[in-house]
Structure 1
Amino acid sequence: MTRFPDLPDATVLADPEALEPYRRDESHVQGDLPLAVVWPKGPAALKELVRLAKAEGFGLVPRGAGTGKAGGCVPMGEHAVVVDFSAWRGELLLSPQDLCLSAPASAPLREVKATAAAGGLFYPPDPNSWESCALGGTLATNAGGPNACKYGMTRHWVLSVDAVLEDGEVHTFGIHSVKANAGPALGQLLIGSEGIFGFIVGATLRLTPLPREHATLLLPAKRWEDLLDLPGRLCGAGYLPSAFEFFDPAVLAELRAHGPDEARRLPGEALAILEFDDRGCTFGPFLEGLMDLLGPMAESLEIASDARQRAGIWAVRRMTSAFLKERHPKKVSEDIVVPRSRLREFFAGLERLAIPSVTYGHLGDGNLHVNLLGAGEADPAELDQQLMDLFRLALSLGGTLSGEHGIGLSKREAFLSLSDPGQIRALRALKQALDPHGIFNPGKVL
């Protein structure tokens, strides 16, 4: 193909210099230069693009805002076209009666959440990039975030999806209601599939009433180990936080030494952010019971007294990833998961492996962001071995090698070598059935 053809209802970019940024996302992966970038604005463009891909033998790589952390939107090989959904048309339609909201894949997640909130409703998924990411990317990766501790992942909040399949047509899977039991939930197959079966172009999302109260607590720990049993103790006592975030001693030391002023004042050897949004969580009986459960740890507890203080506490947590990336541009961040009940075992295993890392993240659901800050200077073979050891440790404790970032390119080899062979066979059979020409996000996951 000497020149990429024009497409109906789309913009096409083929200048090599302008294509350069599309080789990367927010991961450490760098891909190849795509043949072109296409911004489809409606179904006609996608239908023609799918026809061309099958006829010419090139792959289609979906992209939203480019905030992914696993290389899922990065093109690989010489024959790939990036499909950027940022110009896809559609409105945000709120239905308070049905407790749902319909939105195009191009909608910024911040607008989805704001539209729901304006109607007194709540869309819980809140990945760290929620102010900059697109809805479509969160659907493709089954994004999580702090609220997953209580509310679950993106897939738990999707009623239906609109997706283009290998026939080039847009199909809808699901209805605008929680009860839809006419066969398997095929829409759920697309959530978290990273575009390997087809491309999501829109969705209808389930909502819940907006929480009216928030108790936000900054919990310093005099001994780091004291935090590790706390998630299980809270849940066992009937306290389910809407978020439970933490910084290990090494991350806290980095923030204190090099972070902004508000980070330099953070207390404790290690630190947790606990938040509750239950009715009555800001009143005496709830807080008194919580203090009793925390015991001596409650002595240095700080409780946000207003929205400004709450925002200040969360601002430090939200900037941690970007701060570490700026300080250590070649770091590798992995998002493994272990059950809450086995957190202490995980950190004991990590110490035995002597993997040079710092850890923060979602302690409340066992989703840990393990950062290898010196990855850029490490021997590649040694780094690969350290990552495989980390993944095996998580799997040995009943966990998994990714909690919210997905597989993409960065974890593909580990996923293929460590997963149950039956799972891989089933996924490949689905790929062959739904994408027989192999045009959708080739080389990712499988």
Structure 2
Amino acid sequence: MDFLRNLPDAAVLTDREALEPYLRDESHVRGSLPLAVVRPRSAAALKELVRLAKAEGFGLVPRGAGTGKAGGCVPTARTVVVDFSAWPGDLRVSPQDLCLSAPASAPLREVKAAAEAQGLFYPPDPNSWESCALGGTLATNAGGPNACKYGVTRHWVLSVEALLEDGDLHTFGISSLKANAGPALGQLLVGSEGLFGFIVGATLRLTPLPREFATLLLPVTRWEDLLDLPGRLCGAGYLPSAFEFFDPAVLAELRAHGPEEARRLPGEALAVLEFDDRGCTSEAFLGGLMDLLGPVAEGLEIASSERQRQGIWAVRRMTSAFLKERHPKKVSEDIVVPRSRLREFFAGLERLDLSSVSYGHLGDGNLHVNLLAAGETEPALLERQLMDLFRLTLSLGGTLSGEHGIGLAKRDAFLALSDPGQIRALRALKQALDPSGIFNPGKVI
């Protein structure tokens, strides 16, 4: 790659052995071997990289920690991976402004810890929160269990600093809630998977750290009893900070092959509910909740200590990694249906007979439907199965992804099933913001 030889303030990798790890993320997608991997350390490096990409006709693929689940950061043909792991910048918390500024390279765990050290809270908590980078969560609009109450990453972004097609860094937004001088262009970049430009840093909104938690383990003897519960809770004014679930098939896997603590999980199906409202551990709050749950609460367990709380969450957090280890070629989708349509969705899923297992964020309808036998399924049949799943989801007013994004993994389905007007609008934006087509080519649209 002679044209990258004199790139300023950057490390350039071209050896095949060094490039191999960049072919995959945490999805089932495998990319093409990139021309090179560049680790920029300054705005000058990015500006020159953009100039070279346009002059030499190659694309740029952004990458953080590589924990994405939709193939959004894997290279396509004739691309250079831009690895932001060495991108400079400091974490800065402003308690007065209830915000935090950080570079895209900052590990999310450090972002959350920096806020917590000031008695503040940054809620987005994808399952990979201990290993992912902030930039990837911004690019994919990551969620997690806390989205049930607090929403996804987009709801916590005040401003972004981004590399655009002119090669310069631009800031969109301010470090305050109210900014109404025209459309919120920063929000256009959040969740765009690098289609329009690359986010290199952001200012994030914070909120006071919750001081009280009621963490409940709710086993049910009838799986169907869980499906109406999110809507009932919300309708009665109880909004959990998290409402996670394991369907009977996931529980069977965990009990048969999981770690010791998972083998003791009770119920035909199981939910983890957490509340963080002030007073949520009081007799009045819990008594009202028990009255609402009624007979469903018969086997309810309430964590009596922080250690018990963390033990409950440890089992939930390890579920994805456990299934991946047991079924390395599985395909995991993260579809969303409205809370009020959950029962219809699972009835439809049973009719599809996909041999799937499901777990995830029941409280906001974001369901991780796993096809464990995908690796042994004939590709054309697997494609039909996934399209059936997506059509069922859309028929109930849902969407193809709640937190993982589209990337390469869902691109064909997204193009086939989306409103044509949506695709035209996205392509028009792409043409306007990236006329040379250098940013993350081949993804989403």
**TMscore range, shorter length:** over 0.9
How far apart, in 1, do the equivalents of 2:129 and 2:291 lie? 35
| Equivalent residue number for residue 324 of structure 2 | 325
Query: Residue type matched to 2:318 in 1?
Result: M
How far apart, in 2, do the equivalents of 1:364 and 1:184 lie? 31
TM-score normalized by the length of structure 2: 0.99
Instruction: Report how far residue 74 of structure 1 moved.
Output: 0.3
Query: Residue type matched to 1:388 in 2?
Result: M
TM-score normalized by the length of structure 1: 0.99
Q: Does 1:311 align with 2:342?
A: no
**Aligned pairs (5 A) from 1:139-288:** 139-288=138-287
Deviations 1:265-300 (A, max 9, x none): 000000000000000001100000000011112121
How far apart, in 2, do the equivalents of 1:261 and 1:421 lie? 49
Instruction: Report how far residue 151 of structure 1 moved.
Output: 0.3
**Aligned pairs (5 A) from 1:81-92:** 81-92=80-91
Query: Residue type matched to 1:116 in 2?
Result: A
Q: Does 1:72 align with 2:72?
A: yes
Identity score, percent: 85
Instruction: Report how far residue 76 of structure 1 moved.
Output: 1.0
8 Å Cα contact 1:256-1:264 kept in structure 2: yes
Query: Residue type matched to 2:70 in 1?
Result: A
**Aligned pairs (5 A) from 1:29-40:** 29-40=29-40
| Equivalent residue number for residue 111 of structure 2 | 112
Q: Does 1:410 align with 2:404?
A: no
Instruction: Report how far residue 17 of structure 1 moved.
Output: 1.6
Three-state SS of the structure 1 residue aligned to 2:358 is strand
Query: Residue type matched to 1:120 in 2?
Result: G
How far apart, in 1, do the equivalents of 2:100 and 2:157 lie? 10
Query: Residue type matched to 2:95 in 1?
Result: P
Query: Residue type matched to 1:107 in 2?
Result: A
How far apart, in 2, do the equivalents of 1:255 and 1:160 lie? 41
Deviations 1:349-373 (A, max 9, x none): 0011111100000000000000000
Instruction: Report how far residue 126 of structure 1 moved.
Output: 0.2
| Equivalent residue number for residue 25 of structure 2 | 25
How far apart, in 2, do the equivalents of 1:244 and 1:6 lie? 52
Q: Does 1:430 align with 2:429?
A: yes
| Equivalent residue number for residue 57 of structure 1 | 57
8 Å Cα contact 2:3-2:52 kept in structure 1: no
5+ residue gaps, structure 1, are none
| Equivalent residue number for residue 293 of structure 1 | 292
Instruction: Report how far residue 222 of structure 1 moved.
Output: 0.5
Query: Residue type matched to 2:372 in 1?
Result: L
| Equivalent residue number for residue 388 of structure 2 | 389
Instruction: Report how far residue 390 of structure 1 moved.
Output: 0.2
How far apart, in 1, do the equivalents of 2:403 and 2:285 lie? 31
How far apart, in 2, do the equivalents of 1:296 and 1:338 lie? 26
Query: Residue type matched to 2:402 in 1?
Result: G
| Equivalent residue number for residue 399 of structure 1 | 398
8 Å Cα contact 1:90-1:104 kept in structure 2: yes
Deviations 1:13-50 (A, max 9, x none): 01012101100000000011001000011111100100
8 Å Cα contact 2:255-2:262 kept in structure 1: yes
Instruction: Report how far residue 4 of structure 1 moved.
Output: 3.4
| Equivalent residue number for residue 12 of structure 1 | 12
Instruction: Report how far residue 254 of structure 1 moved.
Output: 0.3
How far apart, in 2, do the equivalents of 1:42 and 1:3 lie? 18
How far apart, in 2, do the equivalents of 1:305 and 1:36 lie? 52
Structural RMSD (CA): 0.6
| Equivalent residue number for residue 441 of structure 1 | 440
Instruction: Report how far residue 179 of structure 1 moved.
Output: 0.1
8 Å Cα contact 1:6-1:12 kept in structure 2: no
Query: Residue type matched to 2:387 in 1?
Result: M
| Equivalent residue number for residue 352 of structure 1 | 351
Deviations 1:295-348 (A, max 9, x none): 112121000011100000000000000000000000000000000000000000
How far apart, in 1, do the equivalents of 2:48 and 2:18 lie? 23
Three-state SS of the structure 2 residue aligned to 1:98 is coil
Instruction: Report how far residue 202 of structure 1 moved.
Output: 0.1
Deviations 1:94-115 (A, max 9, x none): 0000000000000000000000
Instruction: Report how far residue 66 of structure 1 moved.
Output: 0.1
How far apart, in 1, do the equivalents of 2:43 and 2:212 lie? 42
Count of aligned pairs between the two proteins: 445
